[in-house]
Chains A and B, each alone.
Chain A
Amino acid sequence: EAQVTQNPRYLITVTGKKLTVTCSQNMNHEYMSWYRQDPGLGLRQIYYSMNVEVTDKGDVPEGYKVSRKEKRNFPLILESPSPNQTSLYFCASSLSRGSAYEQYFGPGTRLTVT
């Protein structure tokens, strides 16, 4: 089954404790992206990757890191989480970045930072 998977689905952590949210897709997609979703703000892009070893900042990259060492995986790293990073995070992938390429979303990771 073609899908995007994320782990963990739920995470409660404390300020400053490094964490990684994994994302994996099995569709051989080139383009992958991370979004955060906050009430009243919609989905905002954090980082995206056009292909292996190619990453770039989205609209809200501060406090986040990513890596793309393999085509299928695109982990999101919070080196020193803060309470304002409490949010619902989605990973997405598509065949390419250009228009008319449907994005497939993972099930989401709800992160709470206390």
Chain B
Amino acid sequence: GENVGLHLPTLSVQEGDNSIINCAYSNSASDYFIWYKQESGKGPQFIIDIRSNMDKRQGQRVTVLLNKTVKHLSLQIAATQPGDSAVYFCAENTYKYIFGTGTRLKVLA
């Protein structure tokens, strides 16, 4: 079946460094991808999205890259801060949302 997965369950990054979180998807028909941030005890929070007709989109300190050739999605966080510590997961959308399992980002002081 179709699935969305993450390569690394935990990522530790030094404060101030850049973080890269990766995601693989298998449904080539997906036309919309989203990254969510989930802090402990809270619901998922939208970070950034990208449509399949784009390969890069930038937000404030975050960039999402989409490589349709290898069905890969990545989230880059610039100058990682302690407040970025959370679980991050991707989702793809065709007629429904399919969510990845998540990567925990730990920011080291």
Please report A residues at the B interface, Cβ cutoff 8 Å.
4, 33, 35, 40-45, 48, 58, 90, 92, 97, 99-100, 102-108
Stretch from B13-21, B70-78, B99-107 forming part of the interface with A: B99-107
* 9 A-B pairs closest in CB distance: A99-B32, A105-B43, A43-B99, A42-B101, A42-B99, A99-B93, A105-B44, A102-B46, A107-B43
Residues of the B chain whose Cβ atoms lie less than 8 Å from the Cβ of A40: 101
Q: A45-B97, A107-B42 are in contact. List 14 more A-B contacts (CB 8 A).
A: A4-B43, A43-B99, A45-B96, A90-B44, A92-B43, A99-B51, A99-B93, A99-B94, A100-B49, A102-B46, A103-B34, A105-B43, A107-B43, A108-B42
Alpha-carbon distance between A35 and B4 when the two chains are bound, in angstroms: 16
Residues of the B chain whose Cβ atoms lie less than 8 Å from the Cβ of A90: 43-44
Residues of the B chain whose Cβ atoms lie less than 8 Å from the Cβ of A41: 101
Alpha-carbon distance between A41 and B51 when the two chains are bound, in angstroms: 25
Please report B residues at the A interface, Cβ cutoff 8 Å.
4, 31-32, 34, 41-46, 49, 51, 89, 91, 93-97, 99-102
Residue in chain B with minimal CB distance to A104: B46
Residues of the A chain whose Cβ atoms lie less than 8 Å from the Cβ of B31: 99
Among B4, B46, B101, point to the contact of A103 (Cβ < 8 A): B46
A42 touches B100 (CB 8 A): yes
- Report B64 CB to chain A, min CB distance, Å: 14
Residue in chain A with minimal CB distance to B1: A59
A99-B31, A100-B32, A100-B51 as given contacts; A43 in contact with B44, CB under 8 Å: yes
Interface centre among B41, B43, B91, B94 (most CB of A within 10 A): B43
B96 touches A58 (CB 8 A): yes
Residue in chain A with minimal CB distance to B93: A99
